Structure 1
Amino acid sequence: MPSGLLALLDDVAALVKVSAASLDDVPTQVAKTTGKVSGIVIDDTAVTPKYVVGLDPSRELSIIWQIAKKSLFNKILLLTPAALVLGYFAPFAITPILMLGGAYLCFEGYEKVHSMFVPHAEETHGTGEVKVITPEELEKERVTSAVRTDLILSSEIVAITYSTVSDQPLVTQIAVMLAVAVFITAAVYGFVGLIVKADDFGMHLAKKKNASTQQLGRNIVKFMPTFLSILGYVGTAAMLWVGAEIVIHGIPFLHHLVEAMEHALADIPVLAWLAKVVACAIFGIILGFVIEKIVVLVKGMLKRSK
């Protein structure tokens, strides 16, 4: 009996050592994964501020907190378990799902680029009536829309994270996925909070007695619209680049072409990276254009069938 207990304790100790060794690698895996999803993180950060535009400034941080909580809930309790289960029972489905998400990002990116050059006409309704909603209803709509967009981006983040650690022990997979979910959510929505309150901070400085402090505050207030505009362009570019790269990675022929281009420019790393980003963005616009035409065609067919 004692020998059996000792053997069990030895097994437990061995399991603890393996788990500890796996957990030691977690920070490295988190850093590696965060680098891979940086484009999606940039896009998420760039997209979110628009959901609080036009709302009561006193509600801005509350709205961002609501979105952040639901984003973290989705990543930890929905998407991470789904990725682990899918990866165990149907690992072959991970790449196609990633490619579908990448194609959607290209479609969204193309829509944004298209709207920059060909603004959509305002939709008119036969009655000419304007729908009136309360600030509370508008806030709820904005949060729902933001969470829906975040869910798509979070799905990509979780899927990429899983694909990065799929060859690691289960303990490492879970630890890395949870760590990435918490870190990215905190980073994205923490930065978004700073962005949306920057103009308030500027106004606060502008009311100070010191002339240089007042000027700094006024400069911050003046710069924020330009900064948000630049952030929007960066987010669109990141969306096209990341979406296209995900799709290209799942198509061997295109993936080899991109790799060959990078190898040809290997002596100039910055140029190699820039060439890849530009090539991916162009491919993303083309793919988004094709998807948009398919969507319009399908909608037209469904409308005619009715």
Structure 2
Amino acid sequence: MMSSLLLLLDDIATIMDDVAVMSKMAAKKTAGVLGDDLALNAQQVSGVRAERELPVVWSVAKGSFVNKVILVPLALAISVIAPWLINPLLMVGGLFLCYEGVEKVLHTLQHKKAKTAEEAATQLALTEAQLHNMEKDKIKGAIRTDFILSAEIIVISLGTVATAAFVTKVSVLTVIAIAMTIGVYGLVALIVKIDDMGLYLTEKTSAAQQKMGHALLAFAPILMKTLTIVGTLAMFLVGGGIINHAIPLLHHFTEDAVDHLEHIPTVGSIMGALTPTLINFVIGIVAGLLVVLVVTLIKKLWPRTKTP
């Protein structure tokens, strides 16, 4: 009886050790996507009222947990039943990210900036219902984006543990899903409250704390603008990267381009390192524009009938 218990404990310890090692490997491989996830979600939840920032982040975080509850079993099931489905599904997600990126750029270009103080006041004077709808739209958009990025992270993690036992696969995916959700949305919550921390410090009596508070207040809008730009770029880079890896012709073209550029004297290594990112970016923009074009044509051919 005692020997059986010791063997069981030894097996559990071995599995836990494997899970720890593989989780670390998966975390390293998904670090780039996690960075994009952070930038995207931080800019997605920006622009809401100060008192609603943390509730919005919490709502998106809950939606993200639901995404993981759906995606982890789904990824495991697909990897067993129909592994060939993973790439097409990821490609659909990549196209959606590219489409969202183009939509954001077009919205920014079409959005009219206020030329006078009166126009600015009119734009800011939204009704409670309008603010509520805007908040709901932001939450839905952030959860949709999170779903696609989470799917890519889980698929990358699944590839890391492809040869492991089923229990180890489940454990690693669960650890990665929980850790990345807590980490990303914890940082998002911190980012959106930087201005509040700055305001709090400016009200302190210490000159050093006041100086730090003013610095944070000056830094907060710069950070949010930067994250907005980085978040939009990330949509093209992640979406284009998914499409690039899913289509062999594009993937081989990227590898050949890197091989040729790396032979250029002096700057070859730098150009070789930057080329995949630039190609993914171009693919993302082109794919997004094509999807927008197709969606626009479909809307024109089959317009929605408005109910009276």
Determine if the TM-score, normalized by the shorter chain, exceeds 0.5. Answer: yes
Q: Does the C-alpha gap of structure 1 residues 299 and 121 become closer, same or farther in structure 2, counting only changes over 3 Å?
A: farther
For structure 1, which runs of at least 5 residues remain unmatched after alignment?
Answer: 123-129
Determine whether 1:259 maps to 2:255: yes
1:74 aligns to what?
A: 67
For the residues of structure 2 that align with 1:291 and 1:195, how far apart are their CA atoms? 32
Structure 2, unpaired ranges of 5+: 114-125
Task: Provide closer, same or farther for how the CA distance between residues 230 and 32 of structure 1 changes in structure 2, counting only shifts above 3 A.
Answer: same
* Cα shift at 1:198: 0.6
User: What is the match of residue 119 of structure 1?
Assistant: 110
Q: Deviations over 1:122-153 (max 9, x none)?
A: 9xxxxxxx975186666555434433332233
The whole-number CA distance in structure 2 between the counterparts of 1:44 and 1:66 is: 16
Report what 2:171 is aligned to. Answer: 175
Cα deviation for residue 110 of structure 1 reads: 2.4
Is 1:87 the counterpart of 2:79? The answer is yes
Q: Call closer, same or farther: CA 1:224–1:172 in 2, change over 3 Å.
A: same
Give the length in aligned residue pairs.
Answer: 289
- Any idea what the Cα deviations from partners look like across 1:170-190, whole Å, max 9, x if unmatched? 122111111110111011101
Question: Cα offset for 1:228?
Answer: 0.7
1:71 Cα deviation from its structure 2 partner: 1.1
Q: How high is the sequence identity, in percent, across the aligned residues?
A: 35
CA distance 1:260–1:31, shift in 2 (3 Å): farther
Alpha-carbon distance in structure 2 between the residues aligned to 1:145 and 1:286: 22
Partner of 1:125: none
Please give the TM-score of this superposition, normalised by the length of structure 2.
0.80
Q: Secondary structure of 1:185's partner?
A: helix
1:154-193 aligned within 5 A: 154-193=150-189
Structure 2: distance between partners of 1:142 and 1:42: 20
Aligned AA (1:238): A
Counterpart of 2:272 in structure 1 is 272
AA at the equivalent of 2:45: Y
Q: Quick check: 2:195–2:220 contact (8 Å CA) kept in 1?
A: yes
**Residue number in structure 2 paired with 1:54:** 48
Matched letter for residue 299 of structure 2: K
Structure 1, residues 72-123: CA drift from partner, whole Å, max 9, x if none?
2320x2110111111111111111111111121122222233444x32579x
Shift of 1:47: 3.0
Query: Take 1:243 and 1:174, find their aligned partners in 2: how far apart are those partners?
Result: 26
Distance 1:165 1:190, change over 3 A: same
- Distance of aligned partners of 1:45 and 1:142 in 2 relative to their CA distance in 1, 3 Å threshold: same
